[in-house]
Amino acid sequence: MAEDSPPAQTVLYVCSTCRAGMPLQEGQPVAGARLLAALQNAVETLPEAAESQPQPIIRAVECLSACAHGCAIALARPGSWTYVYGDLSAADTADILLGAQGYCASADGIPPWRERPAIFRKQCVARIPPQEIAQ
């Protein structure tokens, strides 16, 4: 990538169908849907100072197949490492967005260890190397 290219867009995937091991309750959104809504709401109501920071696009995913560690999210960006985190809930919204901003600001998807929120240091489910574009 040329030095003056804009950085690729980071996507924050949220497993929106996750029940986090709980039974379905009629009329109540599942844990994954609650986490998704909390993240979307937090991004929409960011203070002006935070808006100038690169933010991830939030995408709902039907299943990240990390059901043993729900709720789960993933951070991905072309050319960077992909990270999957688990055992999360809507209570982690602020830390997830903080960690996502660190991901956005990093060159390769690997922010300095000490700058990652505790949930990212301790609740990593997996990471995957940057995708090879060559066919």
> Which residue ranges make up the site for a copy of itself (CB under 8 A)?
5-6, 8-9, 11, 13, 59, 61, 63-66, 72, 74, 76, 78, 82-84, 86, 124-129, 131-135
Closest to a copy of itself by CB, 28 vs 122, is 122
Which residue's CB is nearer to a copy of itself, number 21 or number 28? 21
* DSSP sequence for 71-100: S-EEEE-TTS-EEEE-S--GGGHHHHHHHH
CB of residue 106 to a copy of itself, shortest distance in Å: 15
Could you tell me the smallest distance in angstroms from the CB atom of residue 93 to a copy of itself? 20
Place of tokens 């003056």: 4
d(CA 12, CA 62): 13
Whichever of 82 and 101 has its CB closer to a copy of itself, that residue is 82
Would residue 76 be called left, alpha or beta, if left means φ above 0 and alpha means ψ between -120 and 50 degrees?
Answer: beta
